[in-house]
């Protein structure tokens, strides 16, 4: 049996970040309808731990026969693998859903509780054994054959269909969550890296959809060779032929399947024709809006419009917004600033100063200002805030009612933004269990914009406590975190042993996670009353925990 998919999975676990080698996997765009729309009515809201809402988008794939909801600030890419989950050469529709931009993934050591990558792969059942249990057993045997430990097998339901959640651990300590299910006669393998809790709402929203009746394309590529991109929504398309014999709207228009089209008859006579599911009946000068995304009725590919251009329905990537280039006001190099107490970093332009006097306060405020700073002007301030979202909104409603509130995303981090009528801008960005207040009186200053665009938040090391109740449990830690044993003092504990000191090391009151990997800590406790006369009959205890460092 071909074990290529699991081998690839093992490589992911031990070395790379999802999305960093997408170009090697991409063969062609999935040749079916892929749409992304606003969140439907009744969709469950998602919030950050501090109560900041995240708007949802709905993704629908007719090629895979599924739809699901996800935070709209995440990144979704569709592609086709060159082999199916059994290694057979074919084109397998796949979806990559990440909380980070796939073209610029964070290092694994920078992953936090807000980081996730989900890859969906679908394979029609066909003639292979279609028993869910047989399919599950194939995956489990392949994982074990490739030195992957199955640390959890959890049964649950997806869309009322059997599903299983496997946790696979590599020898290097890498972890991947694998979800297997069958929907719409298609076997799905969903690989999750990062915080699995973030994946649960997506999996809960996963539903099968009917394939629908899509008009097949008239050709795969346009005869025109070059297509102009569609503009606006709806896209106005003129029907009619110019004096040179070419369509008045041009020879070809490329359109994203999420857009709608409006047809305008500028031909020499009335038009009455069928187009996909629509009957087009237009007088001269008449127009009609086909009020649904073209991807709902046209398959990907080229479609011929009567008296119109070739309509090339294709996935058109949304351009990434590039930060405003730095505006240096003084000669000298840019420098990096890192605040380990609050957990963030940014790039500072030449000639700018840093005031850290506020670090002695609970809010850890740091102020950044130029050598030419005006009096009573805050160019950039970053601090911690300890209010909830509701408390913040109540404060502004009562004290700054004219400030304009909007949801925002700062460098991939969702939050809220207040804009004062005199120009000040204040961002409230939650990250892990912290809330950052970032504000500026000069939002239009090029240097301020450059610094705002360079802000990155970083995890702050935490201390985890292991007690008697945790005997036999597994702890997942980040590099830099520490572990403290808080065991029953009525026992005398032997010197503990650690299976992998390169991963976890230190004294009993504090052990440190040094590098990614897995270590087992073991110690034996003998009751102190064994030394009494007469000794007690209490048994000794073998205490053991597993630590997985990411």
Question: 175 and 291: one domain?
Answer: no
What would the mean pLDDT of 26-44 be, rounded to a whole number? 29
Instruction: Name the band, by pLDDT with cuts 50, 70 and 90, for residue 273.
Output: confident
pLDDT of residue 81: 55
Q: What is the pLDDT of residue 2?
A: 40
Percentage of residues of the chain with pLDDT beyond 70: 80
Compute the distance between CA of residue 17 and CA of residue 107 in angstroms, rounded to an integer: 7
When pLDDT is averaged across residues 198-203 and rounded to a whole number, the result is: 89
Full DSSP string of 455-522 = -EE-PPP-EEEEEGGGTT-EEEE-TT-EEEEE--TTEEEPPPEES-TTTEEEETTEEEE-SSEEEEEE
Is residue 99 in a domain?
A: yes
Which single residue is written with the structure tokens 């990559």? Answer: 96
Residue 355 resides in a domain: yes
User: In the numeric block, which tokens belong to residue 383?
Assistant: 């601090």
> Dihedral sign, CA of 337, 341, 342, 343?
positive
Q: Residue 287: CB partners within 8 Å, gap ≥ 6?
A: 262, 263, 264, 265
Last residue of a domain, one of 175, 208, 241: 208
Predicted confidence at residue 333, as pLDDT, reads: 79
On whether both 9 and 141 belong to a single domain, the answer is yes
The pLDDT assigned to 383 comes to: 94
**Distance (Å, rounded) from C-alpha 175 to C-alpha 173?**
6
Asked whether the beta carbons of 56 and 67 are under 8 A apart, the reply is: no
Residue 408 lies in a domain: yes
Among 107-116, 398-407, 409-418, the minimum mean pLDDT is found in 107-116
280: domain CATH number is: 2.60.40
Range of the domain at 274: 228-313
Element (H, E) at 32: none
Q: What is the pLDDT of residue 321?
A: 37
Provide the pLDDT confidence category of residue 25 given band limits of 50, 70 and 90: very low
Cα separation, 73 vs 412, in Å, equals 7
Where among 399, 422, 457 does a domain terminate? 457
485-512: string of b/e by CB count within 10 Å (b at 16+)?
A: bebeeebebeebebebeebbeeeeeebb
Count of structural domains, the chain: 4
Q: Which of 161, 180, 208 is the last residue of a domain?
A: 208
Instruction: Indicate if the pLDDT at residue 176 is higher than 50.
Output: yes
39, 102: one domain: yes
Q: Which residues pair with 438 in a beta bridge?
A: 382, 427
User: Is 389 part of any domain?
Assistant: yes
Question: Does residue 308 fall inside a structural domain?
Answer: yes
Tell me: do 469 and 410 sit in the same domain: no
Residue 320 has what pLDDT?
39
CA 274 to centroid of chain Cα atoms = 41
* Pair 423, 537 in one domain: no
Q: How far, in Å, CA of 481 to CA of 478, rounded?
A: 6
Closest CA to 10 of 162, 160, 178, 163: 178
Q: Are residue 478 and residue 367 in the same domain, yes or no? A: no
CATH number at residue 469: 2.60.40.2020
Radius of gyration over every alpha carbon of the chain, rounded to an integer in angstroms: 29
Assess whether pLDDT exceeds 50 at residue 127: no
Contact at 8 Å (CB) between 207 and 157? no
**452-501 pLDDT, tens per residue?**
989 998 877 778 888 888 898 888 887 778 888 888 888 888 888 888 88
For the cut 80, the answer to whether the pLDDT of residue 352 exceeds it is: yes
Q: DSSP letter string over 479-491?
A: TT-EEEEE--TTE
Q: Tokens representing 283?
A: 């007088």
- Please indicate, yes or no, whether residues 144 and 83 belong to a single structural domain of this protein: yes
449/474 same-domain check: no
> 25 and 55 share a domain?
yes
* pLDDT at residue 325, as a whole number: 42
DSSP 399: H
Q: Is residue 61 part of a domain?
A: yes
Mean pLDDT, the chain, rounded, equals: 77
Q: For 490-534, write each residue's pLDDT tens digit.
A: 888 888 888 888 888 887 677 888 888 889 989 898 888 888 888
**437 and 497 inside one domain:** no
Residue 200 lies in a domain: yes
Q: Is residue 448 part of a domain?
A: yes
pLDDT digits (tens, 9 = 90+) for 315-343: 665 443 334 444 444 456 788 998 888 88
Judgement on whether residues 271 and 351 belong to the same structural domain of the protein: no
Closest CA to 203 of 174, 232, 173, 183: 183
Residues 8, 45, single domain; the answer is yes
Question: Which of 57-61, 319-323, 386-390, 403-407 shows the lowest mean pLDDT across its residues?
Answer: 319-323
Q: Is the pTM of this model over 0.95?
A: no
Query: How far is residue 32's CA from residue 92's CA, in Å, rounded to a whole number?
Result: 12
pLDDT for 92-121, tens place per residue?
Answer: 668 889 988 887 888 777 788 888 999 988
Q: Identify the residue with better confidence: 284 or 220.
A: 284
Q: Is residue 36 very low, low, confident or very high in pLDDT (cuts 50, 70, 90)?
A: very low
CATH number at residue 36: 3.40.1000.10
**What is residue 381's predicted lDDT score, i.e. its pLDDT?**
95
């Amino acid at each position: 049996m071909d074990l290529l998919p699991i081998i690839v999975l093992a490589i992911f676990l031990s070395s790379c970040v999802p999305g960093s080698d997408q170009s090697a996997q991409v063969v062609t765009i999935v040749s079916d309808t892929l749409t992304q729309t606003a969140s439907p009515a009744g969709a469950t809201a998602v919030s950050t731990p501090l109560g900041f809402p995240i708007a949802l988008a709905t993704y629908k794939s007719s090629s895979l026969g599924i739809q699901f909801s996800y935070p709209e600030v995440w990144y979704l890419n569709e592609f086709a693998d060159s082999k199916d989950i059994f290694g057979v050469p074919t084109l397998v529709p796949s979806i990559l859903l990440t909380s980070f931009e796939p073209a610029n993934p964070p290092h694994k050591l920078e992953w936090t509780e807000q980081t996730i990558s989900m890859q969906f792969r679908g394979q029609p059942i066909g003639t292979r054994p279609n028993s869910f249990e047989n399919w599950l057993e194939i995956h489990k045997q392949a994982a074990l054959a490739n030195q992957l430990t199955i640390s959890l097998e959890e049964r649950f339901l997806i869309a009322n269909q059997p599903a299983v959640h496997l946790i696979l651990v590599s020898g290097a300590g890498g972890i991947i969550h694998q979800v297997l299910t069958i929907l719409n006669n298609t076997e799905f393998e969903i690989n999750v890296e990062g915080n699995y809790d973030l994946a649960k709402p997506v999996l809960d929203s996963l539903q099968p959809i009917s394939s629908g009746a899509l008009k097949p394309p008239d050709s795969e590529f346009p005869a025109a060779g070059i297509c102009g991109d569609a503009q606006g929504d709806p896209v106005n398309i003129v029907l009619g032929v110019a004096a040179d014999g070419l369509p008045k709207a041009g020879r070809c228009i490329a359109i994203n399947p999420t857009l709608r089209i409006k047809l305008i008859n500028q031909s020499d006579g009335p038009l009455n024709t069928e187009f996909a599911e629509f009957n087009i009946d237009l007088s001269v000068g008449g127009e009609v809006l086909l009020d649904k995304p073209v991807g709902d009725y046209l398959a990907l590919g080229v479609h011929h419009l009567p008296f119109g251009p070739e309509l090339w329905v294709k996935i058109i990537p949304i351009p990434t917004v590039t930060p405003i280039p730095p505006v240096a006001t003084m000669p000298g190099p840019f420098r990096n600033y890192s605040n380990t107490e609050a957990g963030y970093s940014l790039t500072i332009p030449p000639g700018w100063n840093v005031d850290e006097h506020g670090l002695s306060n609970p809010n850890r405020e740091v102020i950044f200002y130029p050598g030419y700073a005006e009096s009573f002007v805050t160019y950039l301030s970053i601090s911690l805030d300890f209010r909830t979202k509701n408390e913040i909104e109540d404060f502004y409603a009562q004290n700054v009612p004219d400030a304009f509130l909007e949801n925002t995303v700062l460098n991939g981090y969702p939050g809220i933004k207040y804009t004062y009528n005199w120009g000040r801008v204040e961002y409230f960005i939650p990250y892990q269990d912290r809330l950052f207040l970032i504000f500026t009186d000069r939002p239009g200053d090029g240097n301020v914009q450059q610094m705002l665009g360079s802000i990155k938040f970083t995890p702050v090391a935490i201390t985890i406590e292991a007690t008697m109740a945790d005997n036999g449990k597994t702890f997942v830690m980040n590099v830099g975190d520490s572990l403290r044993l808080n065991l029953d003092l009525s026992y005398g504990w032997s010197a503990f042993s650690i299976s992998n000191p390169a991963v976890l090391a230190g004294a009993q009151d504090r052990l440190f996670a040094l590098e990614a990997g897995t270590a087992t800590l073991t110690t034996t406790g003998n009751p102190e009353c064994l030394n009494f006369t007469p000794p007690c009959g209490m048994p000794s205890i073998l205490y053991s925990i597993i630590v997985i460092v990411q």
